[in-house]
Structure 1
Amino acid sequence: MKIILFLVLGALGFTFQNQKDKELVCLPCGRECDNQVYSKPGNCPSCNMKMVEKSSIHFKNISVNELCNQIKSNPDAILLDVRSAGEFGGSSKEVPTFGHFKNAINVNVTDLENRVKELEKYKAKEVLVYCSHAHRSAVASYFLSTHGFTNVKNMKGGVSTIDQQSNDCLKKSFVVHDH
């Protein structure tokens, strides 16, 4: 009986120590809260993104200007828009659509798990992910990076932050939706 109690308490102590050592962060969306480390699971109090283990983050957040530079320096990069088809094409009546990058592939984040096989040919390529405000794109970037995609970058802020007038690259590569 003492041996069983010893083993159970030892296992509980090991489990507690393992949970204690995990560093949790909110799924990086490009805000200041990305730099906070938490000890308990849940959602970020600032951006409401899901907490994940810090060691499981294998994608990088980049600015709009960095994304433009990536498009210029790597024409083979894959642009992945994870908004709805209506937002992507400019026909949504429910939410602002902003515009989209030319040559972008549109896969709604809610369909990503079912459509990931379509994207597998891009696993070794640079994949630049964006949405409207960088919440859905962060979720998609995390999903892709945990499913074998090795060079995933998430655009901070999303297309809602784009000021096309101040960026020559955007004038050439971004289509604004007229409303």
Structure 2
Amino acid sequence: MKTSSQQLLKTLSGLAHLNINRDEFNLKNELLSLFEKQHLANHGQKNIQLNLRYLVESEIIYASHFYLLGALQNLLDNAVKYSGDTPQITVICYQKRGTFVIEIRDNGPGIPKKQQKYIFNKYYQANKDSTSKKGYGLGLNYVYNVIKAHKGKITVDSLPGKGCTFTIYLRKWKKK
């Protein structure tokens, strides 16, 4: 799974403007499926705790099934990758003033404030000093571009030693 994710990221990283096609799908079920894939991919390697708090009445979202789930998978992969042997990851979905919000919280080492403004830049790696965590610096740039193509926004809130919370805001998530 990691190899296919990396190949996908390498291929899509060169696309400055993603043309997304939206469709309706059950986001809650898809998130649970992503959780299952994380457990299978890390079977026996890490003791992963994945929690979903889906606080929106409708489980149906109008977005790009392929790209949005790819972005969410990337954020989950990062959370597992950087959260040590016992990753504790919580995904919270809720609605705020008509905007669909997805928070992904982890218990990893966090990202220093000085680095946070660069993490969505192509090829930037906040963890480049870590020899055990290899990457290309493309994942968060891909996530940023997917959310931007959805006319949304992504933010990060993090303190070193306190984990990260990535928050996605999607204004146009319902079919009109």
Shorter-chain TM-score tier: under 0.3
Query: What is the TM-score when the length of structure 2 is the normalising length?
Result: 0.24
More strand by share: 2
Structure whose residues are more often helix by fraction: 1
Which structure's CA Rg is the greater one?
1
